[in-house]
Amino acid sequence: MNKLATIDYIVFFVYFIIVAGYGIWIYRRKSGHDGTMEGDSKDYFLAEGSLTWWAIGSSLIASNISAEQFVGMSGSGFKMGLAIATYEWMAAITLVVVAVFFIPVYLKNRIFTMPQFLSQRYNSTVAMIMALFWLALYVVVNLTSILYLGAIAISSIAGLNLTFCMYMLAGFAVLITLGGMKVIGFTDVIQVFFLILGGLATTYLALNMVAEHYGTTGVLNGFNLMTKNAGDHFQMIFHRENPNYMDLPGLTVLLGGMWIVNLNYWGCNQYITQRALGADLPTARAGILFAAFLKLLMPVIVVLPGIAAFVLYKSNVFSGEMMQNGELNPDRAYPVLLNILPVGLKGLSFAALTAAVVASLAGKANSIATIFTLDVYKKVINPEASEKTLVSTGKIAVVVAMILGVLIAPHLGIDKKGGFQYIQEYTGFVSPGIFAMFILGFFWKKTTSTAALFATIGGFLLSVMFKFMPGFIDLSFLAPLGFAVRPEGSNIYEIPFLDRMGFVFIICVVMMIIISLYETSRGVKTNGLEVDSSMFKPQPSFTIGAAAIIVILTTLYTIYW
């Protein structure tokens, strides 16, 4: 029954009041009695020097986890099992790499936005092209998918109108975002608390439901019964015969394209790195390490419920609820589970899902405002803008971006593609080129602006070429190597998405090196960053934490290989 009880609404509104009240308190405390902080753009966009390590870590996770994880990843758990957790678990080790090698470069060179890095390292043309691209990507792909998927999930749980849910989410996110990065960072601590508490409650009840269905009780018994009755759903590495190999092609998730997905997302993404760019290095690293530990927990919250739903579906517990328009829809797994939760807990889990969506929307909107204000408005439209004008412009950009998101989201077919796939498909066309441009820009001083432009434009064109290549060239010769698969019901061999990204990245790096060597040999000067080996030496406490993450991940992959 898609309806919340009175107590569920009470739980939800208590959450709303706590978050909104805390945000107002942080904002008033930040602004001071005379309002002098109101005009400080760096404080508004970055919360410079005021976020603690636990606020940074919480904000990273709150900004990352949203409806595409709760709904899309649970649906993937239903369909393919624990293997989809590689996106979360590989992200944990990626965060360690970003903390050690990426963040020191940003902080040492006083870089606050990604276009600023490109302008400082390459030139203003590369920076402006990418600033406009990122704005379009964040609004049209990320903001819209978070809004639409979140509204679908909340609508299916509460029985509310879809459009009303979109406006409700957008309005709540705008309220938080207008307070600036500091308000977002500290309210995200509460958001993550609700997210984890509600998520764990859903997982607990889902596993217990599996146990009760088979005549026993307890989450451990439920988990053991899941591994027994859905053993194929507890394999992390797929063989080529697996029907889901196209999505997660074997060892590529450990040694190939998955690294590009994660390093680009966590290390070259304004939306994410912005959380750490206003802190000193030890604080930023501690916050990122905290986020890495939380990442290890995420599959328990978003993947295991999907597998539990699969086991229950096979047992005809709620087979009808998983159907949509006469077809099985795995993305219904999490909303269906929430709808069978007890009164009160349903409200808590509803609040957790809402928290995840709102936090992601707020983080994305703040990043849109930061890039537009600092990299477009200040550089092109109004170079003499005062600090107060920049903050006001940022707030207007937040509202405009959210309105655009609400208006265009229903027309993009996000529900037909699946939110997780929608985001990966469109960002994946440019991720390899962007990552190549960043990684060479960091660590090879000879990289030229022309090489960076090739990565930006050429990387996109190469991705398109590899996408449509199977329609013109027989790729069966790649099949023995595992780089081409013939999907069920098709006569054409296709290259898995993650492998395509790996190929494009390698080509971009090789071509960038050739172009850069040619240009520097002809006297072209480059703008190298300030980098020295001492920057990359972490504190002992960080090293211990990073080692613990590596041990945990090694153990998990060994058990569920």
CATH number of the domain bearing residue 81? 1.20.1730.10
Q: Are residues 540 and 433 in the same domain?
A: no
Clarify whether residues 402 and 479 are in a common domain. Answer: no
pLDDT tens per residue, range 337-374: 877 778 877 787 777 777 778 877 887 888 888 888 88
Q: Band of the pLDDT at 151, cuts 50, 70, 90?
A: confident
Under the banding of pLDDT at 50, 70 and 90, the label for residue 49 is: low
Indicate whether 395 and 502 sit together in one domain: no
Confidence of residue 419 (pLDDT cuts 50, 70, 90): low
pLDDT value of position 214:
85
Name residues whose C-beta falls within 8 Å of residue 15's C-beta, 6 or more positions apart in sequence.
194, 351, 354, 355
> Which whole number is the average pLDDT over 401-425?
71
- Do both 272 and 143 map to the same domain? yes
295 confidence band (pLDDT: 50, 70, 90): very high
Number of domains in the chain: 2
My answer on whether 349 and 325 are in the same domain is: yes
Residues 443 and 404 placed together within one structural domain of the fold = no
Q: Is residue 375 part of a domain?
A: yes
| pLDDT of the residue at 182 | 62
Residue 59 vs residue 519, higher pLDDT: 519
Looking at the structure, tell me whether residues 378 and 512 fall in a common domain: no
- Looking at the structure, tell me whether residues 452 and 398 fall in a common domain: no
Contacts of 63 (CB under 8 A, 6+ apart): 188, 271, 272, 275, 359, 360, 362, 363, 364
Region 292-304 average pLDDT: 91
The mean of the pLDDT values for the chain is 81
pLDDT digits (tens, 9 = 90+) for 304-330: 998 998 888 888 777 666 766 667 777
- Where b means 16+ CB within 10 Å and e means fewer, 30-44 reads bbeeeeebbebbbbb
More confident residue, 254 or 272: 254
pLDDT band at residue 398 under the 50/70/90 scheme: confident
Domain extent for 457: 428-530
Model's pTM, two decimal places?
A: 0.81
Residue 434 is encoded by which pair of tokens? 């962007």
Q: Are residues 92 and 165 in the same domain?
A: yes
**By the 8 A CB rule, do 134 and 115 touch?**
yes
Tokens 């329609």 sit on residue: 471
Q: According to the model, what pLDDT value does residue 35 have?
A: 41
CA 505, CA 361: separation in Å to the nearest integer? 29
55 occurs within a structural domain: no
Q: Give residue 431's pLDDT.
A: 85
Q: Which helix (H) or strand (E) holds 305?
A: helix 304-314
Q: In this structure, is residue 93 part of a structural domain?
A: yes
Residue 34 pLDDT exceeds 50: no
The answer to whether residue 47 is domain-embedded is no
Q: Is residue 90 part of a domain?
A: yes
What ranges in 178-274 are assigned the alpha helix state H? 181-213, 219-229, 252-255, 257-267, 270-273
Asked whether residue 147 is assigned to any structural domain, the reply reads yes
Quick one: 402 and 452 in the same domain?
A: no
User: Domain check: are 75 and 142 in the same one?
Assistant: yes
% of the chain surpassing 70 pLDDT: 87
pLDDT of residue 269: 77
Is the pLDDT higher at 147 or at 418?
A: 147
- 44 within domain boundaries: no
| Same-domain check for residues 201 and 327 | yes
Q: Where are the beta strands (DSSP E) in 30-187?
A: none
What's the confidence (pLDDT) of residue 7? 87
CA distance 299 to 345: 20
Share of the chain above pLDDT 90, in %: 14
- Answer yes or no: is 195 within a domain: yes
User: What is the mean pLDDT of the segment spanning 174-200?
Assistant: 71
What's the pLDDT tens digit per position in 493-551? 888 888 888 899 999 999 999 999 999 988 888 887 777 788 888 889 999 999 999 99
